[in-house]
Amino acid sequence: MAAQNPNSLNIDLPTVLIHRLPSFNFPIAARLFTHFHLLDPITSPPTSPALFHSIRALLCVGPTPVTSDTLNHLSSLQIVVGTSAGVDHIDLADCRRRNIAVTNAGTAFSEDAADYAVALLIGVLRRVSASDRYVRGGFWPVNGDYPLGFKLGAKRVGILGLGSIGSEVAKRLAAFGCSIAYFSRKKKASVSFPYYENAIDLAANSDVLIVCCALTDETQHIVSKDVMVALGKEGVIINVGRGPLVDEKQLVGFLVRGELGGAGLDVFENEPNVPKELCELDNVVLSPHCAVLTPESFEALQDVAIANLKAFFSNRPLDKAANGAHALALPVPFNLGSG
């Protein structure tokens, strides 16, 4: 049995507790095994619950919740290494109170998320997925030309949250001839794009809204009914952040009534459940929360997680850049655009 457990050889390495729901895969472990003793209670339940109170570092897989109750069982915990861009599933206030550092995926996912946002946007404007259905359904020879889409160039794109993902989105869409503006927690001195003071003003001056901010108490439903009204009936909403950033019930109503031009959604309020009404619309592109899922981004994620865990166990600062990423060590406040 021991031979089947790669950890049996590494018992002298620093121990990291794997925290995951049984349904969540853990695809990034390959290189972690060579640096840490990984303790996964799902596959190897510890003989004594007391062991948990000796754990100093926790690796949180995907959006597995880290609640006050979780923390109560881990009285020695000093760091939570998150593996997603967002940290809305982690009780940040309680971590702060207990002086537990929290890190996220840094910029490991930023490029893939930005690529996907662009694909969703062109997909909505030019009806790419709907055209694909049209061809596969055999309609082309019968019904002739597919209806016109809309050009991406010269569109006014408003970015909600100009963090690492939003910045990559801006860089890409500038090359398509779009004009860029943004709303973020605060105006960024290093950025020349126009800044708006709130989401409604940004929407009122945009043809497209790209949502890529972190989900916090302040940003929940930041894309509200009022924002949708301001965006207007030809406006397009792209969400690669988190489902609850958008008031989904309102969004569905606006789309069904034709009061928005379209939407490209990788995330939803009640995943994996998607409102049925959206599945009937050709001006909507739907995606199962996979904007960041590539082998390349998982490699980059391992770089970030290993760098942060090594820094922690060596008492080095956690804000060390790893693969271009900066760890977020609390109590540094989370940036609206970091999600």
Query: What minimum distance in Å lies between the beta carbon of 167 and a second copy?
Result: 12
User: Residue from 190, 273, 314, 315 that binds a second copy (CB under 8 A)?
Assistant: 273
User: Residue from 167, 239, 297, 302 that binds a second copy (CB under 8 A)?
Assistant: 297
193: contact with a second copy by CB under 8 A:
no
How far the first Cα of the chain sits from its last, in Å, is 41
Reported in sequence order, the residue ranges of the chain that DSSP labels E, i.e. its strands, are: 15-19, 37-39, 57-60, 79-82, 101-103, 156-160, 179-183, 208-211, 236-239, 262-265, 284-286, 321-322, 325-326
User: Residue from 66, 79, 119, 304 that binds a second copy (CB under 8 A)?
Assistant: 119
Active-site residue, from 242, 248, 269, 326: 242
Nearest to 36 by CA among 62, 55, 22, 63: 55
Query: What minimum distance in Å lies between the beta carbon of 208 and a second copy?
Result: 13
Q: Is 197 a catalytic residue?
A: no
30: contact with a second copy by CB under 8 A:
no
Interface positions, 165-184, toward a second copy (CB under 8 A): 171-172, 174-177
Tokens of 187: 């105006």
Query: Look-up: residue for tokens 């949502």?
Result: 211
**Closest CB to a second copy among 98 and 172?**
172
For residues 34 and 168, give the distance between their C-alpha atoms in angstroms, rounded to a whole number.
Answer: 32
Tokens of 162: 């100009």
* Dihedral pair phi/psi, residue 182, rounded to 5°: -155, 160
Query: What minimum distance in Å lies between the beta carbon of 153 and a second copy?
Result: 5
Residues in the site for a second copy, rule: CB under 8 A? 23, 25, 111-112, 115-116, 118-120, 122-123, 126, 128-129, 131-136, 140-141, 144-146, 148-154, 171-172, 174-177, 271-274, 279, 285-290, 293-298
What residues are annotated to the active site? 242, 271, 289
